[in-house]
Amino acid sequence: MQNIFDEHVVEHLIGVEARGACLTMETGFEALRSLGLEDFADVLWNMPVAETPNLSAVLPKMTSDDVTITWTGAAGHRLLQQSVSFVRSCSENYTTITGQSLQDKRILDFGCGYGRFLRLFSFYSNDVQGVDAWELSLGHSREAGFGDRVRKSDAVPCSLPFDEPFDFLFSFSVFTHLSEASTVASLAALRTAAKKGAVLAITIRPIEFWTVVNEGITHLDASKIDTRRLIEYHKNVGFAYHVQGATEESLPNEHYGDTSLTLDWLTKNALGWQLERLDRSLNDRQQRYVFLRAV
């Protein structure tokens, strides 16, 4: 354990394990929160830990690197840094917009995938729920230990499968991949799941994404994509979308691909939402953080 964590974290984990008071996931989270967000995240990124069998039994186990790379293009400390940057931005901007903290708020992860942000936002609340349209993603979340916290949605949702509305909703690297129809439907469905005054955080791609594609440093094959046309769509329409499978040797998925959009397009199509704040992380230059308030 000394090879994984700094001394103060090791001492804290040994103390928690010795007390034997962590009987549920919620009490396990509570035992780690005094460490602060980044050490909290680091511990969850390394679960299970052999030297803390009782704590490891109640906390979610981290998804394997091969899955996280497939889903997000990164793993380990690099992915942790990118993820914590988003969480800190959400916390700061939520407080600026509402005058309240995220502590004990009802939180929804739209497009939760294998559950990386279900882990991190648990620093603030025990009521963190997830939804995803892909059953394989939900399977990884359930395997990690989030079985009672995740549900399935439609690819083009009319509503979301929750009875109680949320205070804070977020969607990381989801609207960067949706078709126009799915984007509009998802924004509307999220509004029905939000309390009035709730905050929604999403990430969107800037026009520069298509230039980066041309440089050959993304997952896309620039030789098979008309990036000039996509840049013109972004400028003239406000929404550029390359459907997955349109040029690859696979069947097209009309609602999933790669997307960039403008703030002007977003404000015109995000009915029931009001643009409040913007942010970005230099750890992830090709995504802008957009904060909307439910009106």
76 located within any domain = yes
In sequence order, what are the residues at sequence separation of 6 or more whose Cβ sits closer than 8 angstroms to the Cβ of residue 288? 203, 204, 205, 206, 278, 279, 280
CATH for 102: 3.40.50.150
Q: What is the value of pTM for the model shown? A: 0.94
Phi and psi dihedrals of 245, rounded to 5?
A: 90, 0
Domain count, the chain: 2
- Does 51 share its domain with 92? no
- Does 45 share its domain with 89? no
Q: In this model, does residue 177 exceed pLDDT 90?
A: yes
pLDDT digits (tens, 9 = 90+) for 84-103: 999 999 999 999 999 999 99
Tell me the mean pLDDT in the region 234-244. 94
Q: In this model, does residue 248 exceed pLDDT 70?
A: no
| DSSP notation for 61-129 | PPPPHHHHHHHHS--HHHHHHHHHHHHHHHHHHHHHHHSS-STT--EEEET-TTSHHHHHGGGT-S-EE
- Does 79 share its domain with 45? no
67 located within any domain = no
- Does 217 share its domain with 156? yes
Greatest Cα pair distance, the chain, in angstroms, is 62
Cis peptide before 48, with omega less than 30 degrees from 0?
yes
- Does 142 share its domain with 39? no
- Does 104 share its domain with 45? no
Identify the pLDDT of residue 239: 98
Identify the pLDDT of residue 250: 44
Q: In this model, does residue 247 exceed pLDDT 70?
A: no
- Does 54 share its domain with 94? no
Tell me the mean pLDDT in the region 235-251. 75
66 located within any domain = no
Q: In this model, does residue 206 exceed pLDDT 90?
A: yes
226 located within any domain = yes
Tokens matching residue 285: 């230059």
- Does 156 share its domain with 283? yes
Q: Could you give the CA distance from residue 131 to residue 120 in angstroms, rounded to a whole number?
A: 16
Q: In this model, does residue 260 exceed pLDDT 70?
A: yes
196 located within any domain = yes
- Does 150 share its domain with 246? yes
Place of tokens 């005094």: 34
Identify the pLDDT of residue 254: 77
pLDDT digits (tens, 9 = 90+) for 208-221: 999 999 887 788 88
* pLDDT grade for 13, boundaries at 50, 70 and 90: very high
Q: Residue 263's closest CA among 228, 239, 281?
A: 239
Place of tokens 């090879």: 3
pLDDT digits (tens, 9 = 90+) for 98-151: 999 999 999 999 999 999 999 999 999 999 999 999 999 999 999 999 999 999
Q: What domain range is 40 assigned to?
A: 7-58
- Does 105 share its domain with 168? yes
1 located within any domain = no
153 located within any domain = yes
Identify the pLDDT of residue 244: 73
pLDDT digits (tens, 9 = 90+) for 28-69: 999 999 999 999 999 999 999 999 999 999 999 999 999 999
Identify the pLDDT of residue 5: 95
Q: Could you give the CA distance from residue 61 to residue 50 in angstroms, rounded to a whole number?
A: 12
- Does 155 share its domain with 184? yes
Identify the pLDDT of residue 164: 97
- Does 178 share its domain with 255? yes
Q: What is the number of other CB atoms lying within 10 angstroms of the CB of residue 65?
A: 12
165 located within any domain = yes
